[in-house]
Structure 1
Amino acid sequence: MHPLCHDEESHALMQFKQSLVINKSASSDPSAYPKVASWKVDGESRDCCSWDGVECDRDSGHVIGLDLSSSCLYGSIDSNSSLFHLVHLRRLNLADNDFNNSKIPSEIRNLSRLFDLDLSLSAFSGQIPEEILELSKLVSLDLGANSLKLQKPGLQHLVEALTNLEVLHLSEVNISAKVPQIMENLSSLSSLFLRDCGLQGEFPMGIFQLPNLRFLSIRYNPYLTGYLPEFDRGSHLETLMLAGTNFSGAFPSLLRDQNHLELLELEQNKLEGHIPKWFMNMSTITLEHLSLAGNFLTGFEQSCEVLPWNKLRSLNLHSNKLHGSLPTPPPVIFDYRVSNNQFTGEIPKAFCNLASLSVLELSNNNLSGKLPPCLGNKRSAISVLNLGDNSFSGDIPETFTSGCSLRVVDFSQNKLEGKIPRSLANCTKLEILNLEQNKINDVFPSWLGILPDLRVLILRSNRLHGVIGKPINNVEFPRVQIVDLSNNSFKGNLPLEYFRNWTAMKNVHGDHFLNYMQANISFQMSHIRMIHKYEYSMTMTNKGVMTFYEKIQDSLTAIDLSCNDFEGEIPVVLGDLKALHLLNLSNNFLSGGIPPSLSNLKELEALDLSQNKLSGHIPVQLSQLNFLEVFNVSHNFLLGPIPQGNQFDTFDNTSFDGNSGLCGKPLSGKCRDGEDSLPALKEDEGSKSPLEFGGKAVAIGYAAGLVIGVIIGSIMNTREYEWLVNNYFVRLQRKGQNLKTRLHRS
């Protein structure tokens, strides 16, 4: 029989429970659950020593341990919290909860028996109180991943006071100071995590040589300098993460005799030259994660067709100058990234046997040959497949089978031909499909509309053709929010019925947080579970400039149908896509007026209708678009006064060039007597019918003349268009435009 929990401690625990609420979003661990939910003061479970997360001393019955990590707790902790009545506590773990930017109360000093304190990832904020220095028995301290500062007192004071530390984790704590030399005296230190702390100056070399050091992470401190000394042969370093620091030196020879490394990150330093021969013999049995990305490495000193690390699960060599053929990883590889290098040759056939491979990132190399037919079949677990910006040729294999795991397919900027494989419809998890700038000869892939999660469809600069037509079902492309079909040969009317289906473009995101499209890739290593964020990227015309999006904002919504052969009027229903940020319909043969319904697109930042055959007035309602930064209606048949006020006061005359009937600012031509420039509408006038503004029908008439429009459409591709405008020879105009377009595409 063990003694029952003390009443005053049971009462203190219940008070602590009642001061907080349970909120599932307060914890990020997928296995999180509310441990306090089972706490009760009556019945068989009234003994707090039996409560989930509570540990009592077997002899005295005092509460000595409290582990409420990942317990979905939300609320504030202040100096009156009953938590500080538990004065016998030796271990306290509140990690992965949300304490609503509470400061760590000075009453933490009451827990003087603590030797293990973990408050990481729990939304604490402010300066770490000096009272924490009174916890002299602390062996393990983890305050990482909070909005905390350690400045008064600073890191030096903490190290001087807590001399028994074996574990010190302060990642993301704002230290903004040098690493004190005295830290070299922490002979018991086994784990030191100081990631992204604003560290400065030279890192003390002696810390690398601490006798018990096994885990060291000082990554993402760009102003931290230093060099890597030799390690003792008896060193048992298992984790070394120096990514994003400013360490210098060829390749670090300290690694030569390391045989226990499991995680090694040296990315974004200034390593250069060849990867030495001895490196391939390092930790061959233990290494599971290796990142050398973002350096100036040129290759392997010794030819390396097969990597020697048998347990390697994650390899990241991107953004170097590596050349030669792709090195083949071991069968257990999960994440393989070598983009932005100079690798040549074909994808080795052995890659088809990598049954665990989930991320294959080979973009921006000099790879060639045909795509392996195994990618995307039943035996493949690949979820991210990025082969863009290479020289792959031939058809895309028609081998995407049922159960396909793909979430991202990027084959952009290659030499691929043929049709878009219909078997892609089996990839029901697909979120991004990017086939831009190939030689694909096909019609619009309407059959992709059944994919429930497709968000980004980029088919720009191919040989796609024909009329887009009507969707088969009323729910096609339900989540699509970015569509780029520009620079193809689509014809007929704009896809009115598809616009009606694109519901994800109709719903404006309520939050304005900078979230990005990404896949969270997790995999198990020997001792920890690694979570990698794979952030989606793309290239798209934004406000007249071809832009590379290293990240895609989660709320970004865009349609680019420019440089095709679309004709007819702009559908009024486009005004229902209220979440649109970018709309580009330029370089087509669209006619009729600009629909006033476009004024409903309150989120719109860029509207390009240039190089068409649009006529009539510019709707005054468009002056209500308060976020509009780019507006281009040049080289149309528009007439009448240009709206004034709001964003229209920021557009220069190039936005309106080539419309001889337009007048008013910013053009030099003044409007006729009695026809002043249209004033900006008030917000409450936006819903009125155009007839209520005294508008009148105006016949279209233009004098014969020659207008030459030249657009430099992107930073990557330059296109020139010549437009022959003559109201007596409309057919000749159409014929000349088609001829120019065809010559360019050939």
Structure 2
Amino acid sequence: MSFNNLSGNISMQLDGMVSLKILYLSYNNFIGKIPTKLGSSMVLEELVLSNNSFQGTIPDQILSYKNLTMIDFKSNILSGSIPLDIGNLSRLKTLSLSSNSLGGKIPMSLVNITTLVRFAANLNSFTGAIPLGITKFLSYLDLSYNDLSGSIPEGLLSPSQIVLVDLSNNMLKGPVPRNISPSLVRLRLGENFLTGEVPSGTCGEAGHGLTYMELEKNNLTGLIPPGLSSCKKLALLNLADNQLTGALPPELGNLSNLQVLKLQMNKLNGTIPIQISQLQQLSTLNLSLNSLHGPIPSEMSNSLVLLDLQGNNLNGSILSSIGNLGKLMEVQLGENKLSGDIPKMPLNLQIALNLSSNQFSGAIPSSFADLVNLEILDLSNNSFSGEIPPSLTKMVALTQLQLSNNHLSGVLPAFGSYNGKSVVAAVLIAIAAAIFLVGMVTLLVVLISRHYCKVNDERVQSSEGENLDLPQVLQSNLLTPNGIHRSNIDFSKVMEVVA
């Protein structure tokens, strides 16, 4: 009876089904408490009530159905705690309680269910420690988005049958367990308070299955271990937003299956190894907000969709072959020390091209006009000069054009409105003009007032050479689909565009 529009309470309606073994009522509009009268013979094996509006607690009477192999109560409005004696369901294979309002501690009795393969209780409010030995028989454990505390039990990741462990978004402390089973495919420990180093011998055995390793937003320190290169199946490595130091190990270039590499917001230094940038499967490379220096590697993966190197100390020019990266949709190179000629960009660029806060000079390339799908172009805080190319008006998808803090002159091209979207640069310049006018009027009033009041102990600086603090509202963070697009807009400089 799943995937219907059934509604109301369930009390005694099903008790007359003497031989009821399987009950699927998911994706309906049922309300009230979890039903407990589910066949007088008590032979129920599978109870699936997910994606309804059941509320109240998990009734102890459910534990009377000793043949249960599956309980799926996810995506309801259940509260209270898990019954302490749930471990008496000795045949249970799947227990799914995700997306409710359950709390309290996770019962130790779960450890005793030798048949339990899958336990998911994410998106709740469980507290306390992770029960010791909970993965002794489990293959899939998801306790993410709770309020669990304490350390991760040392043997949690070592059982030979474990496939997935997700403990992300909790309050766990201590180190990452070093003994990781070769059967583990996905490890998610992000957004906790874990400390210590990234385990160096993570994939010591040949044929290790680890494919996804996500340890972001913790307090991990030390170097990125070169030994991670032994994880040959690794497709995603996310160590972002930690306190990692040292250079990027070139050995990561041996991860031939790596598709996503996120190391942003650490304290990494040194240069970017070309062995990493050349990884053929790599689609996301985010090394932003570190202290990397040297040039951008001369070769990049043809699979790249996102290239984010902003907020480092990179110098030199942009790789000349970037235009050949046909899958590239977003380029973030702001806040570096890049200079030289800007090569033609991939025509598929769509989300953003950020070259702000670098050392580019000369004319704005007219080739940008070919980027007809691009939504954000940020060239602010450079030394571009000359006129704004009229051809930029052909960028019909453009919603944000940042040109502030350059040396541009001439008239502003007529940007139109395409599909209800208008280029924000025109709006920003209009606002800048208004702010400039208001500021001049205010300054004039102050000067006149001080003149007539004969205030001689204070002098107002002339408009030439003054260094007035800009209002905080002029400092903006522009959101893009892939995170924060940083831009510092100085409207006093924007006026140079229309001078």
Q: TM-score range by the shorter chain?
A: 0.7 to 0.9
**Is structure 2 residue 265 aligned with structure 1 residue 413?**
yes
Per the alignment, residue 307 of structure 2 pairs with 457
1:262, distance to aligned residue in structure 2 (A)? 0.8
Per the alignment, residue 342 of structure 1 pairs with 193
5 Å-filtered alignment, 1:87-486, equals 143=2, 146=3, 148-151=4-7, 159=14, 164-175=19-30, 178-183=33-38, 187-221=42-76, 223-229=77-83, 230-231=85-86, 233=88, 235-275=90-130, 279-282=131-134, 284=136, 286-300=137-151, 304=154, 307=157, 309-328=159-178, 329-353=180-204, 355-376=208-229, 380-401=232-253, 404-448=256-300, 451-468=301-318, 470-471=320-321, 476-486=324-334
Assess, with a 3 A threshold, how the Cα gap between structure 1 residues 307 and 283 changes in structure 2: closer, same or farther.
closer
Q: Provide the C-alpha distance between the structure 1 equivalents of 2:64 and 2:400, rounded to a whole number of angstroms.
A: 57
Per the alignment, residue 677 of structure 1 pairs with none
Assess, with a 3 A threshold, how the Cα gap between structure 1 residues 589 and 215 changes in structure 2: closer, same or farther.
same
Aligned residues of 1:585 and 1:608 also touching (Cα < 8 A): yes
5 Å-filtered alignment, 1:321-720, equals 321-328=171-178, 329-353=180-204, 355-376=208-229, 380-401=232-253, 404-448=256-300, 451-468=301-318, 470-471=320-321, 476-493=324-341, 495=342, 497-499=343-345, 502-505=346-349, 557-624=351-418, 626-628=420-422, 631-632=424-425, 648=427, 654-656=431-433, 706=466, 708=468, 710=470, 711-714=474-477
1:720, distance to aligned residue in structure 2 (A)? 7.4
Q: Deviations over 1:511-530 (max 9, x none)?
A: xxxxxxxxxxxxxxxxxxxx
Q: Deviations over 1:425-452 (max 9, x none)?
A: 442111100000111112122301xx22
Task: Give the aligned CA root-mean-square deviation in angstroms.
Answer: 3.4
Q: Provide the C-alpha distance between the structure 2 equivalents of 1:619 and 1:721, rounded to a whole number of angstroms.
A: 20
Aligned residues of 2:16 and 2:39 also touching (Cα < 8 A): no
Assess, with a 3 A threshold, how the Cα gap between structure 1 residues 487 and 283 changes in structure 2: closer, same or farther.
closer
Aligned residues of 1:564 and 1:587 also touching (Cα < 8 A): yes
1:562, distance to aligned residue in structure 2 (A)? 1.0
Q: Provide the C-alpha distance between the structure 1 equivalents of 2:135 and 2:381, rounded to a whole number of angstroms.
A: 58
Give percent identity, aligned residues only. 28
Assess, with a 3 A threshold, how the Cα gap between structure 1 residues 184 and 304 changes in structure 2: closer, same or farther.
farther
Assess, with a 3 A threshold, how the Cα gap between structure 1 residues 603 and 178 changes in structure 2: closer, same or farther.
farther
Q: Deviations over 1:118-150 (max 9, x none)?
A: xxxxxxxxxxxxxxxxxxxxxxx6x4xx5x322
Q: Provide the C-alpha distance between the structure 1 equivalents of 2:302 and 2:284, rounded to a whole number of angstroms.
A: 12
Aligned residues of 2:277 and 2:297 also touching (Cα < 8 A): no
Aligned residues of 1:466 and 1:489 also touching (Cα < 8 A): yes
Q: Provide the C-alpha distance between the structure 2 equivalents of 1:705 and 1:198, rounded to a whole number of angstroms.
A: 66
Extract unaligned runs of 5+ from structure 1.
1-140, 506-555, 634-647, 670-702, 731-746
1:225, distance to aligned residue in structure 2 (A)? 2.1
Q: Provide the C-alpha distance between the structure 1 equivalents of 2:17 and 2:363, rounded to a whole number of angstroms.
A: 74
Aligned residues of 2:234 and 2:257 also touching (Cα < 8 A): yes
Assess, with a 3 A threshold, how the Cα gap between structure 1 residues 429 and 176 changes in structure 2: closer, same or farther.
farther
Aligned residues of 2:432 and 2:491 also touching (Cα < 8 A): no
Letter in 2 for 1:151: S
Assess, with a 3 A threshold, how the Cα gap between structure 1 residues 283 and 376 changes in structure 2: closer, same or farther.
closer
Letter in 2 for 1:411: L
Letter in 2 for 1:149: N
Assess, with a 3 A threshold, how the Cα gap between structure 1 residues 165 and 604 changes in structure 2: closer, same or farther.
farther
Letter in 2 for 1:199: F
Assess, with a 3 A threshold, how the Cα gap between structure 1 residues 381 and 251 changes in structure 2: closer, same or farther.
same
Aligned residues of 1:374 and 1:380 also touching (Cα < 8 A): no
1:269, distance to aligned residue in structure 2 (A)? 1.6
Aligned residues of 2:200 and 2:227 also touching (Cα < 8 A): no
Q: Which SS does the other structure have where 1:590 is aligned?
A: strand
Q: Which SS does the other structure have where 1:369 is aligned?
A: strand
Aligned pair count reads 462
1:338, distance to aligned residue in structure 2 (A)? 0.4
Q: Provide the C-alpha distance between the structure 1 equivalents of 2:209 and 2:45, rounded to a whole number of angstroms.
A: 32
Q: Which SS does the other structure have where 1:440 is aligned?
A: strand
Letter in 2 for 1:317: L
Q: Which SS does the other structure have where 1:188 is aligned?
A: coil
For normalisation by structure 1, the TM-score amounts to 0.56
Letter in 1 for 2:303: D
Aligned residues of 1:228 and 1:254 also touching (Cα < 8 A): no
1:722, distance to aligned residue in structure 2 (A)? 8.3
Aligned residues of 2:432 and 2:492 also touching (Cα < 8 A): no
Q: Provide the C-alpha distance between the structure 2 equivalents of 1:454 and 1:571, rounded to a whole number of angstroms.
A: 23
1:151, distance to aligned residue in structure 2 (A)? 2.3
1:334, distance to aligned residue in structure 2 (A)? 0.8
Q: Provide the C-alpha distance between the structure 2 equivalents of 1:717 and 1:403, rounded to a whole number of angstroms.
A: 29
Aligned residues of 1:403 and 1:426 also touching (Cα < 8 A): no
Q: Provide the C-alpha distance between the structure 2 equivalents of 1:161 and 1:667, rounded to a whole number of angstroms.
A: 81
1:175, distance to aligned residue in structure 2 (A)? 3.6
1:653, distance to aligned residue in structure 2 (A)? 5.0
For normalisation by structure 2, the TM-score amounts to 0.82
Q: Provide the C-alpha distance between the structure 1 equivalents of 2:157 and 2:274, rounded to a whole number of angstroms.
A: 36
